[in-house]
Amino acid sequence: MKENLYDKLVAYIVENQDRFYRLAFSCVKNQEDALDAVQNAVCKALAHYEDLRNEDAVKTWFYRIVLHESYAILNAKKRFIPADDTHYSEIPYEEKRYEIHDDLYAQISRMEPDTQNIIKLRFFEELELREISQVLNMNLNTVKTKLYRGLKALKIAIREEDCT
């Protein structure tokens, strides 16, 4: 049974690696850090796959690991202070199949982190609300409320931006 779970996990990771990278990149906004987050998530998942009690929860379990690793990298960067004053410019990374609408993405990034994650998981990763509640370890009604409030705020912000 555990070998079957390991094989299922490996197949799932390989099949969806682009999605995991995209989610990590949306959090850390840096290509190398996103790759590190996904790599760390894969290592942790493969090391602890035996802890997974329900085989059907592989999807939500792994998304949660990717989010935790992405935020761990962000937290580590907050503590790191560069020794020199050289400013490095980041080259934005975009996948050919996925267009990033700068104004929409900028508005989403101004929201609180929970709302950002819910919108990204719902619309960019196409997860169901129930799955999002499991990934973020939130009540389903809380996820719904934050999603609809966030979408309403997004709609208002974009309308205001269009009017100016």
Quick: pLDDT tens for 124-146: 899 999 999 999 999 999 999 99
Sequence-ordered list of residues with C-beta below 8 angstroms from that of 133, at least 6 positions apart, any chain: 139, 140, 142, 143
Q: What is the pLDDT of residue 158?
A: 84
Report whether pLDDT(63) > 90.
yes
Domain map of the chain by residue range? 1-80, 99-164
For the structural domain made of 99-164, what CATH number should be given?
1.10.10.10
- Among 51, 48, 45, smallest CA distance to 63 is for 45
- Among 66, 45, 40, smallest CA distance to 135 is for 66
> Are the C-beta atoms of 153 and 111 separated by less than 8 Å?
yes
**Residues 47-79 as b or e (16 or more Cβ within 10 Å = b):** eebeebeeeeebbbbbbbbbbebbbebbeeeee
Separation of CA 65 from chain center? 10
Q: What is the pLDDT of residue 85?
A: 47
Return the CATH architecture of domain 1-80.
Orthogonal Bundle (1.10)
pLDDT bin (cut points 50, 70, 90) of residue 36 is: very high
Average pLDDT, the chain: 85
Q: What is the pLDDT of residue 84?
A: 52
CA 99 vs CA 29, 79, 93, 94: distances in Å:
15, 32, 11, 7
Report whether pLDDT(95) > 80.
no
